[in-house]
Chains A and B, each alone.
Chain A
Amino acid sequence: MGGGVRPAVAGGSAARAGLLRAALQSLLLASVALFFLNFNLLGTASPSRRFSQDLVYAWFGDEAWLYPRVASAERSARPRVLVVMVDEPALALRGARWPVPVGFHAQFLAELEVLRPRAIMLDFLLIDPAPQQDVCELLTVGARLRHEGVPLYLAVTRREDLAPMDAAACRDASGALLRGTQVFTPVSVQRQADGSDFVSRRYPFEQRADAGAAPGSGLPSAAVRMYCDSEHAPAACLARLTRVAAADAGFELAWSPQGDPFNQRWSHASCIETPSPLRAILNQPALPRESPCPPVATLFAGALLSPEVDPALGAGNEALFDIADGAFVLVGGNFRGSGDLVTTPLHTLLPGVYYHAVALENLLVFDGRPKVRKEFRTPKLAFVGYDLLVLWVLAAIFLSRQRWLLRAELHRNPFELSDAARGWIAPLIARYPTPLWILATAALLLLLAAFRSLQLLAVAAAIAGLIVVELRVAPSAEIRERLRGLTMYLAALALSLAVIVLATWVGYRWLRLPPGDWLGYFSFAAFGFFVAHTAILEFGRRVEELNLARRGGGESR
């Protein structure tokens, strides 16, 4: 019996050793893949990664799993964000002109008061000297709004920007001093852009005095402050969002290609954009062209100041109250030549106020837990370790498939040309002199390089032609073998994709990683990137053999 047990133990030990060996091999392969996934020589990998992320938002930005925007069905549950756009015609309705006078802001806040918003943010830097009467009017209206429970936020470059308001020494009806800091919460409107293409994908948590300042010591960004003030514990919310060590940290903005349906009332362009991945395959522009219909509900100030501009807001202003009641209102400017424009992943240019509006929508829809890149996360090693874990599983699937192909004696790559096909094609080309077919090939490739629309056609024609040749000339046994290999390849691909979907779900939903941080997984599954790195396994085997030989030599001595 004992004799029977011993081989079983030996077999179990061998199996364990084999499993350990396979695990180590896949770990080695995954580590190499992780290095190349994060290899960013001269920063060239960053633009492609960001562009891939832009494509994800362009194609799936309306999917609830990616960006659960404040849809009409959820309006009652989540407060909505409303942009109110001040432009030259609106100023003219009050006899004012650019730059927007402080007195106009006072009048306009009084008009906004009627809408009973949840909070109001003025995306204007009130840094120009203003008459004392205008400043006092602004503070009086602001104090009234504060008294009614409507917080007011004012864009500043630094906290001291509110000092001139205090210097005006304004007093309320009871004679009490009105201070700018009592009325307005100063917020930062600093913008961040990716260095590689200057697109504003990231929204800063706060504006710190300098790179060495402590986390949480800076001026909170507008959307961050507005969101946290609407939470039950604003201080804890602010501390949580601004605790990132890097001074330039921010969260990644999710975008939708669709315009807000409310904007269709004034937009002469369609608010429905449906960019499709098919367009990219057909070599057409993959990202939506500049859309004049912004993704956040927008009310033009002129429509508020004059029913003549927008008479369709209802006899009793029903549509107006419906859109603005309880909403976060962000008042921004849109003046020709003012330069307050932002480039987003899906819009060539948008007025700067949308940067803050979309950031606030992101915070609302992701419940204050927006997507943040790995580079701003702590502990960083843990997040990169998550990548390694995912790649380890993918590498294990890849190596299992390779081993299965070996066991099944399927030595041929299913995508490789058979000997029979090569034997049929080569003589066909050999009928022509070498200079002729080489020059013809070069001319054909030159045409394909010059005319992108021909590329897809040429690739499709080449694949179809090779399949026909294979089916005609390859032996049926080889075709069957190839089909088995192809089935195995597709099964492994499906399993890999399932792992990636799970990893993506965990990464996006729970680890809050933006698409740019998990899209790389797909390249390993879809394009077989592991194939390119299997040389390391050969090297590993050689090292292992040498190590075993050395140990064997040592034991024999």
Chain B
Amino acid sequence: MTRWLRSVLVTVALVPGAWADEPAPAATADTCLVLNNRILGPRAPERLLPLLSGDPTKGFHAACAVPWNRLSPANCPLPVTDCYRGSLLQVGNDAACGRQTGPLWINSRWVITSAELQDKRAHAVICQQLETGAWAGTRDLQLDCVPAKKELSPESAPPARETSQPAVTSPRPDH
């Protein structure tokens, strides 16, 4: 076997491994990475907005539920001062639930932000599954949800799953 042929075979053998190590494309744009993000208004104006207090290190707490005009009395866009996991937005108003609550957070599910208006990509896939496997093994088993039915564009790959927690001996939650 010539040296040339050997090097070609080695290259061909290594290529799939190199592909496997490539990072997966991000599922969607992370709201937390958008600069100058602002809360423009509620998605459903007639419904109350649940607010949280606290912070990521000490934990979040249910604070109160208020209408939009309490959060933004002048009906102006509110600056997002901090962000957590792409969905909790810290609002530039820490008095909506009264004094001494500290910074307030809101789920981006209930408000329209300037970030999402900038994100024009189509979100085609929602990928979830129930954990119903009867496995005789540890709970560290990874079962990735692969969307089989819906078209998946390269920009909207399924979100990466959280790293599973180590096995615990907590009591069952129910029954």
Contact = CB atoms under 8 A, between A and B. Distances in A.
Interface stretch (B8-16, B17-25, B70-78, B146-154): B146-154
Contact of B132 (A155, A190, A333, A348): A348
B96 to A, nearest CB: 14
Interface stretch (A93-101, A393-401, A424-432): A93-101
A14 interface: no
Nearest to A190: B175
Contacts of B85: 92-95, 306
B25 to A, nearest CB: 14
Contact of B60 (A95, A116, A304, A349): A95
B62 A137 contact: yes
Contacts of B49: 114
A414 to B, nearest CB: 50
B31 to A, nearest CB: 7
B13 to A, nearest CB: 32
Interface in A163-199: 189-191
Contacts, number: 190
Contacts of A321: 44
B127 interface: yes
Interface string A251-289: 000000000000011111110000000000000000000
A368 interface: no
Interface string B117-149: 000000100111111111000110100011111
Contact of A308 (B87, B141, B147): B87
A264 B147 CA distance: 11
Interface in B84-134: 84-88, 107-110, 112, 116, 123, 126-134
B152 to A, nearest CB: 11
A66 to B, nearest CB: 25
A93 B61 CA distance: 13
B52 to A, nearest CB: 6
A89 B161 contact: yes
How extensive is the interface on chain A, given as a class? 35 or more
B132 A266 contact: no
A312 B62 contact: no
B168 interface: yes
A137 B173 CA distance: 20
Interface string B23-53: 0000110110000000000011001111010
Q: Which 10 residue pairs across A and B have the least CB separation, nearest first?
A: A337-B139, A306-B87, A311-B123, A110-B50, A266-B128, A349-B132, A106-B62, A336-B139, A340-B174, A99-B170
Interface of B: 27-28, 30-31, 43-44, 47-50, 52, 56, 59-62, 65, 84-88, 107-110, 112, 116, 123, 126-134, 138-139, 141, 145-149, 159, 161-162, 164-165, 167-168, 170-175
21 contacts: A88-B162, A94-B85, A95-B84, A99-B168, A101-B59, A110-B52, A114-B47, A125-B174, A266-B128, A268-B145, A268-B149, A290-B132, A292-B130, A292-B132, A309-B87, A315-B43, A316-B44, A336-B141, A340-B172, A347-B132, A349-B134
Interface of A: 85, 87-89, 92-101, 103, 106-107, 109-111, 113-114, 116, 123-125, 127-128, 133-134, 137-138, 140-141, 144, 155, 189-191, 264-270, 290, 292, 294, 298, 300, 302-312, 315-317, 321, 332-341, 347-353
